């Protein structure tokens, strides 16, 4: 494997005096789908936000797409054209705006080398429901459709890397599986490198190349998805399986 597309080295971060991330190193390679699992409060969201400057970095180094972005704020990362998209946990869409307007909000970072309409037509292939509902307010969408809109918005500027924080949260099992399949498709068909935080630990590991287990802001285990799924202790503690 060559240089990772995203590399975090010995990250310490948190909120003011509260240190949440205690020395995490992690890599995402080109074309990989990597899952982060771990108990509530273990720092998964904090870590993801640290990568793009939404949480204060105390020490460590962050490199994305061959660039050192350590300590950079989100607007600086956007300004430098780092091709990364982020969908926060409990993803926010703008409920009072239409689907079209929400997608435009995602498009503002795009250098205008592709028209808004071309890009939305491409994304409608992946998210047909958004085409049907294009002129409606996002508040009229179901939970699953909103998650799709949040993901589509992040995809508007054609990112090479995606950070997804629990995109299946609050979805019924069938919709959650559809969302995970869609994520797999982004990796396989669009060659997007994806760092995914998931509560549906077993299922997401099954679809992933590798995984990391976070516990109290540290990495408790890491490996290929097969290695993690085969490990008794991990199955018992983190995958909710007794055998």
Ligand X SMILES: Nc1ncnc2c1ncn2[C@@H]1O[C@H](COP(=O)(O)OP(=O)(O)OP(=O)(O)O)[C@@H](O)[C@H]1O
- Binding region for ligand X (CB under 6 A): 15, 18, 20, 38, 40-46, 89
- Ranges within 20-49 binding Mg ion (CB under 5 A): 44-45
Rg over CA atoms, the chain: 18
Identity of the residue, 65 or 204, whose beta carbon is nearer to Mg ion in the bound complex = 204
Nearer to Mg ion, 89 or 114 (CB): 89
Q: Which partner in Mg ion, ligand X, none is near 15 (CB below 5 to 8 A by kind)?
A: ligand X
* Options 6-14, 67-75, 88-96, 173-181: segment touching Mg ion (CB under 5 A): 88-96
What span, in angstroms and rounded, lies between the C-alpha atoms of 34 and 57? 22
3-state secondary structure of 172: coil
Q: Is the dihedral of CA 81, 86, 92, 96 positive or negative?
A: positive
Min CB(187)–ligand X separation in Å: 22
Contact 82, 67 (CB under 8 A): yes
Partner touching 42 among ligand X, Mg ion, none, CB below 5 to 8 Å by kind? ligand X
**How many residues bind to Mg ion according to rule CB under 5 A?**
3
Cα gap 66→6, rounded to integer Å: 8
Q: Are 47 and 80 in contact (CB under 8 A)?
A: no
| Least CB distance to ligand X at residue 38 (A) | 6
What residue 40 binds from ligand X, Mg ion, none (CB within 5 to 8 A, per partner kind)? Answer: ligand X
Instruction: State both tokens at 189.
Output: 């068909």
At 238, which helix (H) or strand (E)?
A: helix 232-238
What does the binding site for Mg ion look like in residue numbers (CB under 5 A)? 44-45, 89
């Amino acid at each position: 494997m060559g240089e990772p597309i995203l590399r975090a080295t010995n990250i310490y971060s948190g909120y003011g005096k509260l240190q949440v991330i205690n020395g995490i190193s992690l890599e995402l390679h080109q074309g990989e789908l990597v899952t982060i699992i771990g108990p509530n409060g273990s720092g998964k969201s904090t870590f993801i936000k640290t990568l793009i400057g939404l949480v204060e970095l105390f020490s460590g180094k962050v490199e994305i797409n061959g660039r050192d972005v350590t300590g950079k704020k989100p607007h600086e990362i956007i300004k430098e054209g780092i091709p990364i998209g982020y969908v926060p946990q409990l993803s926010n869409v703008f409920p009072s705006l239409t689907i079209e307007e929400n997608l435009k909000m995602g498009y503002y970072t795009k250098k205008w080398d592709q028209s808004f309409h071309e890009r939305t037509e491409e994304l409608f292939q992946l998210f047909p429901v958004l085409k049907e509902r294009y002129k409606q307010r996002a508040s009229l969408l179901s939970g699953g459709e909103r998650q799709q809109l949040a993901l589509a918005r992040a995809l508007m500027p054609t990112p090479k890397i995606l950070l997804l924080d629990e995109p299946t949260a609050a979805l019924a099992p069938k919709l959650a599986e559809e969302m995970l399949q869609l994520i797999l498709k982004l990796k396989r068909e669009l060659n997007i490198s994806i760092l995914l935080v998931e509560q549906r630990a077993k299922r997401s590991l099954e679809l992933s190349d590798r995984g990391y287990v976070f516990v109290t802001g540290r990495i408790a285990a890491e490996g290929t998805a097969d290695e993690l799924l085969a490990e008794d202790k991990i199955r018992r503690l983190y995958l909710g399986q007794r055998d």
